[in-house]
Amino acid sequence: MSSVNLTPTSYLVLGLVAGLGSATPYEMKQMVAASLGYFWSFPHSQLYAESDRLVEAGLLEVDQEEGGRRRKRYSVTADGKRALEAWLSDPAAEGAETRDPGLLKLFFGGLTDPAHVEALALAQIEHHRQHLALYEAIEAAIKDSPDLRFPYLTLRLGITTTRANLEFWEELAANPPR
């Protein structure tokens, strides 16, 4: 218990388990792959590690299956619920990081042939178009599910920023730097 400090990943796991009632890391993996994973991805091994950390911190409890595969099924403790609620009710959400290699390449565009920047722009356009198509397909599918209201909003945010990126790169491709 205690003195484990909570990262965004911690709350991600806590939130997933809370939303599902109880879950095995594998089930969490599925959930992530179908939703958050589009914006916030990480290897599944982290779900195993993080779940155990949260048990240590007293925020999750584990119930191991007898026989068969002896899966570990996690659920949220009272302390865990409190921690999650405290986090959710705090409007502060600083520390957003955009780690976009395309941004880096653009920043250093002056160090190389401008044609490479143009090629970069075209690749980015293609990339964002595909994502956008995917997101819009998902959007259409979940639009009217009342219990997916917040995932839907999250997706809307993803769509909004993807569109903004797309527009930026399209304009850059239309007016290539030289």
Contact 173, 118 (CB under 8 A): yes
Closest CB to DNA among 74 and 169? 74
Of 47-55, 78-86, 141-149, 165-173, which part binds DNA (CB under 7 A)? 47-55
Q: Does 101 bind DNA (CB under 7 A)?
A: no
Number of residues that bind DNA (CB under 7 A): 23
What is the smallest separation between the CB atom of 72 and a copy of itself, expressed in angstroms? 22
SS3 67: coil
Residue 26 CB neighbours (<10 A):
14
Closest CB to DNA among 13 and 117? 13
Contact 73, 65 (CB under 8 A): yes
Selection from a copy of itself, DNA, none that 80 binds (CB < 5 to 8 A by kind) is: none
Contact 73, 16 (CB under 8 A): no
| Helical pair 114-142 and 149-174, crossing angle rounded to 10 deg | 150
Selection from DNA, a copy of itself, none that 167 binds (CB < 5 to 8 A by kind) is: a copy of itself
Q: Which position has the token pair 């089930």?
A: 27
Q: Does 27 bind DNA (CB under 7 A)?
A: yes
Interface residues toward a copy of itself, by CB under 8 A:
8, 11-12, 15, 18-19, 35-36, 39-41, 84-85, 87-89, 91-113, 116-117, 119-120, 122-124, 127, 147, 149-151, 153-154, 156-158, 160-161, 163-165, 167-168, 172, 177
- Alpha-carbon separation of residue 120 from 102, 106, 109, 115, 116 (angstroms): 7, 8, 10, 9, 6
Interface with DNA (CB under 7 A), residue from 1, 2, 21, 70: 70
Nearest-angstrom CA–CA distance, 156 and 55: 33
Binding site for DNA (CB under 7 A): 4-5, 7-9, 24-27, 42-46, 48-50, 53, 68-72
